[in-house]
Amino acid sequence: MQVTATSLRRALIALTAAFSSVGLLAELLRARLGSHPACSLLSLSFEGNLPSWYASALPLLCAALLAWVSASETADRRHWQALALGFLAISIDEAVGLHELLGGLFTTTGLLHFGWVIPASLLVLALALAFLGFLRRLSRETARRFALAGAIYVTGAVVFELPLGWWSEQHGDDNLGYYLLDWCEETLELVGLTLFASALLTRLTGRELRLTA
């Protein structure tokens, strides 16, 4: 069976849209019905369910695609490989929640209720500076796609933690407002990862993957 970059890109977009839409429905139902097995299975806020599996599978796919790209790149190969390792780390973090352990290092309130956003923001800034030259050496279209995907992902993964933390402190985390903020955060992460994977697949166009038995 031959899997083309175009077909895989369409499948990712469809899956992301489906998980986001069903996740929103799950949050609305949870606010009305309370705890329900279907909500736990499909909510983007819960761990160990279908959306959390997809959220960890997406960066793992990105890591694999980056490794594939790096295999044929002569320029900036180390940058491609570093990105592959970085997305592998994101996949592991999505599965086990390592970033939450950083929150215990800070005693903060209000918008910084989730203290781990402090080291996360510093890490994002450091990575942006470290890869600025790499982005400039890419084609303008590829750099634009990478930058857009990264901005959307960081908005969800880091920036949205600020209003979510404030709301959690003021109103708790068992209400519709919290559910919707969390849904927006998780959806932005999925969209950012999907756009990045799509940009990588565009770069790999013409290099089809063949699955044989």
Express each pLDDT in 45-95 by its tens digit: 888 899 999 999 999 999 999 999 998 888 899 999 999 999 999 999 988
Please tell me the chain's helix, strand, coil percentages from 3-state DSSP, rounded to the nearest 5: 80, 0, 20
Overall average pLDDT of the 114-140 stretch: 92
Contact 146, 135 (CB under 8 A): yes
Question: Which helix (H) or strand (E) segment is 13 a member of?
Answer: helix 5-33
Give CA–CA dist 130/79, Å, rounded: 10
Tens-digit pLDDT profile for residues 135-188: 999 999 999 999 999 999 999 999 999 999 999 999 998 999 999 999 999 999
Stated pTM of the model: 0.91
Contact 58, 207 (CB under 8 A): no
